[in-house]
Amino acid sequence: MSDTPPPADDGALDELEQDLTERSAELLLPSRGKNSIPRVVSLIVLIGVLIFTAVLFFRVMALFVVPLFLAGVLVVVFEPVFKWFLRKLNHRTPLAALATTVVILASVFAPCALLTWRAYAEIHHVLGDPIWTTADPATPDGAPPDGEAEPGHFLGVDFDHLREGSPQHRFAAAYEALFRRPLNNDEINRLRQDVMEQLRSRAPKSVLVGLKAIGAFGLGLVVMTVSVYFFFADGPAMVKTLMHLSPLDNAYESELLERFAEVSRAVVLATVLAAIVQGTLAGLGYWLAITFTGAEGWPIFLLTMLTMILAMVPFVGAAAGWVVVSVGLFLQGHTGAAVALAVYGAGIVSTADNVVKPLVLHGQSNLHPLLALLSVLGGVTVLGPIGILVGPMLVAFLQALLTMLRKELDLLEEETSP
């Protein structure tokens, strides 16, 4: 008799292999079976706590959304400056971030300080005489040199006298033209008393509102400045952490970040170029109107720079500059020049904004000119001044997200197709 064991049954081996596979699956996937319900409940609770915490987080951070957003835009725009400092400072990131932050603050506040000083100098020059009167400076008794002046065509004002006088006389005559009473020492004292009474009645509320606005602005400025520094210093690490926590694919996250940088640069460039174009056109109009009429006391350069800055402010625009100059020329008796400047400002200067911005946005961010214009106007209307940045960015993000969705649907269709 042989001691050789009988051959194993193939069916028995298959059953044994299947049993081992099922046991291994149960060991590797403990969530199946009786543990599946507790894990689903745990996941639901985790999602609920996450949503609740996220809502509280965004409510706490809502006050700082705009400063953080502006800090991100500034970091994107001044990234070449940061890289330049990084090379010059032997890749010492904290020093490069600090130097770039100082450059950003200087580039924002230095022009404002310069224009404020120039405006103060001009106002001090015009209002330097403590005694304003409508009388001609050559006649101390207040009578015109040639006797009683004939009234002008606008509210009884002698516009020849208005044109020939000093800035104080022109202001006084303009006041008389508007309110039909002379601006002398008694009138100035009466106005001073009225102003003081208004200040006494409204001072507490106005001071409270002003302090609140100044505090909010100061806090936002501090948050933005600190955020700019840390975005430069720790930006790559922050982005890497957010990309790791986000459920989106890294390729999609990188694409959204690229779109953010692209649109930020495009919007800032479009705003600055549009302001430069509008300010230059307005300055040309000021020079022509003031030169050909022979009007005096108009600081053309200061008016041009102010118009350029106002052109960057939503809801204000360059119109705040040329309207004031047109009214001033009209009060000086240069009616034709005032009307011509108003038509030129409305038809050329203010219209340039609606031409330059869409063209620059189209060239820099691949947005259609019409869509770029509507995104800027809609963003400013709905969100206020910050909408000039958010509007085009939302359109660009929507375009990028739709492209991502199209890619995912195409991949899903390829995977499910036989």
Q: Could you write out the DSSP letters of every residue in 16-33?
A: HHHHHHHHHHHHH-TTSG
Residue 243 — very low, low, confident or very high, per pLDDT cuts 50/70/90? confident
Mean pLDDT check: name the lowest of 14-23, 148-157, 350-359, 379-388.
148-157
Looking at residue 130, what DSSP letter applies?
A: S
Q: What's the whole-number mean pLDDT along residues 312-337?
A: 83
Q: What's the whole-number mean pLDDT along residues 124-132?
A: 51
- Phi, psi at residue 129, to the nearest 5°? -75, 120
What per-residue confidence (pLDDT) applies to 227? 92
What per-residue confidence (pLDDT) applies to 141? 44
For the stretch 257-307, pLDDT in tens is 888 888 888 888 888 899 899 999 999 999 988 888 877 677 888 888 888
- Phi, psi at residue 7, to the nearest 5°? -60, 140
**Domain limits of the chain?**
249-407
For the stretch 50-66, pLDDT in tens is 899 988 988 888 888 88
Q: What's the whole-number mean pLDDT along residues 385-405?
A: 84
Amino acid making up residue 33: G
Residue 183: helix, strand or coil by DSSP?
coil
Q: How far apart are alpha carbons 390 and 314 in whole angstroms?
A: 13
Residue 83 — very low, low, confident or very high, per pLDDT cuts 50/70/90? very high
Give the pair of three-digit tokens for residue 382.
């709905």
Positive or negative, the Cα torsion across 345, 349, 355, 357? negative
Residue 252 has pLDDT above 80, yes or no: yes
What per-residue confidence (pLDDT) applies to 135? 44
Q: How far apart are alpha carbons 164 and 5 in whole angstroms?
A: 131
Higher pLDDT, 175 or 138: 175
Q: How far apart are alpha carbons 121 and 123 in whole angstroms?
A: 6
Residue 226 has pLDDT above 90, yes or no: yes
Residue 136 has pLDDT above 50, yes or no: no
Question: Any idea which residue has 């390829």 for tokens?
Answer: 414
Mean pLDDT check: name the lowest of 311-315, 335-339, 377-381.
311-315
